[in-house]
């Protein structure tokens, strides 16, 4: 298994560790785990492209690992009353829709690459989660709700990117 795929697997292994640490109340440790796991997302893609190590495993597992990481954090936050459930439902609906679209397209021999809005959505989520974990530190000191701003921006970008994927690939549904 090449290094980018090992990083993807490390991110997946980090998910249950993150969940346990977070639900035990160790928010700072959970934020560190989440941030380190998020960095592997950018690193594995960079290394795969730079060293021509792109693989079918990576194409499938990398986005799955990202989704598991973010959704796990957000579901835990719903359980703890930090994030509204409807926000997570919107995010989940987009992820299931895009994954379903990609699956149907793949069955037709069409590859749907990640779009820029989807990448922006992921970055916004990966910034929002640590801010939420750290209770908006250090911005709560000045009363600026940066955590909420990033959370709302990620939900809005989730809707925008999901709409974009469906619209740009609508031909897949008519084949």
User: Domain range holding 133?
Assistant: 3-174
In whole numbers, what is the pLDDT of the chain averaged over residues? Answer: 95
pLDDT above 80 for 175: no
State pLDDT tens for residues 42-81: 999 899 999 999 988 888 899 899 999 999 999 999 999 9
Domains of the chain: total: 1
Token readout for 13 is 């292994």
- Could you give the CA distance from residue 43 to residue 37 in angstroms, rounded to a whole number? 10
Mean pLDDT of 102-106: 88
Residues in the chain: 175
Q: Answer whether 172's CB lies under 8 Å from 104's CB.
A: yes
pTM: 0.93
Q: What is the CATH number of the domain that holds 155?
A: 1.20.120.1760
Mean pLDDT of 116-124: 95
> What's 128's DSSP letter?
H
């Amino acid at each position: 298994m090449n290094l980018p795929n090992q990083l993807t697997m490390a991110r997946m292994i980090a998910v249950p560790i993150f969940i346990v640490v977070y639900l035990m109340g160790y928010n700072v440790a959970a934020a560190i785990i989440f941030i380190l796991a998020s960095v592997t997302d950018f690193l594995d893609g960079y290394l795969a492209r730079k060293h021509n190590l792109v693989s079918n495993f990576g194409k499938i597992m990398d986005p799955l690992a990202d989704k598991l990481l973010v959704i796990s954090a957000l579901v835990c936050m719903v359980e703890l009353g930090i994030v509204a459930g409807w926000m997570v439902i919107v995010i989940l609906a987009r992820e299931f829709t895009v994954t379903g679209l990609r699956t149907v397209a793949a069955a037709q021999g069409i590859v749907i690459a990640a779009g820029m809005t989807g990448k922006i959505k992921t970055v916004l989520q990966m910034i929002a989660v640590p801010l939420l974990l750290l209770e908006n530190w250090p911005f709560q000191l000045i009363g600026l709700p940066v955590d909420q701003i990033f959370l709302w921006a990620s939900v809005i970008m989730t809707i925008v990117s999901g709409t974009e994927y469906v619209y740009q690939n609508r031909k897949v549904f008519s084949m």
